[in-house]
Amino acid sequence: MSKKKDGRKIRLKMVFDEYMKDAMRLERWRWVGLLMVLAVFAGFFGWVYEFIFYYFDGGTGEFYMQGGNFLPWINIYAIGAVLIVLCCWKLRRYPWAVFLLAMVVAGVVEFVGGWLVYSIGNGTRYWDYNTEILNFGNIGGFVCLRSVLFFGVSALFLMYAVVPVVIWLSRKMSRRAFLVLAISMFAIVMADEVYNLLASKFFDWPDAMEFYRGLGWKYLT
């Protein structure tokens, strides 16, 4: 192993050790970049999870396209991840507390998000646990115990793997380079989101679902 690679590992461990102490303080610019990168990562992570899960849940051994964007990214996972990090930041020394609080935060996000879409959209559902496998603890089809348990476990991965690595990268890179990377990634997914949520409907342009259906991909109904 080269000294360069060994040095990188040592520095990452040092960042993690500092991260696990209450003394770590992040500058405002680093917080902004961190949350942007986490939003992009979490939205992609959620897309991959659903892409795999619904292969089995569909019961037909087929892959279904997920989300409503051109990019493999789902917004509610990004929202949940950002809220989990903000709510669990001061509890990061206690994984059990992070796990429990993340379950609560994710459950509230799921229930409120699902209920609002259902109410405003006249019965529209983007997910429905009434029809899914392993839906024990199901509440109105908006949230179930299986989902919040998965989000609790995912929050441990987020808080103790992804967040420290992103902080380490922010220290390895210059301030300008890190912010350019974070803002660029976030701007791309936001442009995709705005197009599909607003522009495609306002101007009657084809959205991502129409595009992928035209390619032969199926969506769960």
Q: What is the pLDDT of residue 28?
A: 95
Percent pLDDT > 90 in the chain is 63
Q: What is the pLDDT of residue 141?
A: 86
Checking if the pLDDT of 123 tops 80, the result is no
Three-state SS at 69? coil
Say if CB 70 and CB 196 are below 8 A apart: yes
Q: What is the pLDDT of residue 84?
A: 97
| pLDDT confidence tier of residue 4, bands split at 50, 70 and 90 | very low
Checking if the pLDDT of 9 tops 60, the result is no
Side-chain-side CA neighbours of residue 18 (13 Å):
14
Contact residues for 81 (Cβ-Cβ < 8 A; gap 6+): 38, 39, 41, 42, 45, 158
Indicate the pTM of the whole model: 0.88
Say if CB 137 and CB 146 are below 8 A apart: yes
Q: What is the pLDDT of residue 136?
A: 80
> How many Cβ atoms from other residues are within 10 Å of residue 205's Cβ?
11
Checking if the pLDDT of 5 tops 70, the result is no
Cα–Cα distance for residue pair 174/136, rounded to 1 Å: 47
Look-up: residue for tokens 């569909």? 58
Side-chain-side CA neighbours of residue 19 (13 Å):
21
Cα–Cα distance for residue pair 209/206, rounded to 1 Å: 8
Cα–Cα distance for residue pair 30/89, rounded to 1 Å: 14
Return the domain boundaries, the chain.
36-62+69-205
**Least confident piece of the model among 17-26, 77-86, 109-118, 133-142:** 133-142
Mean pLDDT of 9-30: 86
Q: What is the pLDDT of residue 169?
A: 95
Distances (CA, A) of 4 to 11, 113, 161: 11, 46, 22
Percent pLDDT > 70 in the chain is 93
Per-residue pLDDT reduced to its tens digit, 178-207: 999 999 999 999 999 999 999 999 999 999
Cα–Cα distance for residue pair 174/33, rounded to 1 Å: 12
Checking if the pLDDT of 155 tops 80, the result is yes
| pLDDT confidence tier of residue 1, bands split at 50, 70 and 90 | very low
Cα–Cα distance for residue pair 216/139, rounded to 1 Å: 33
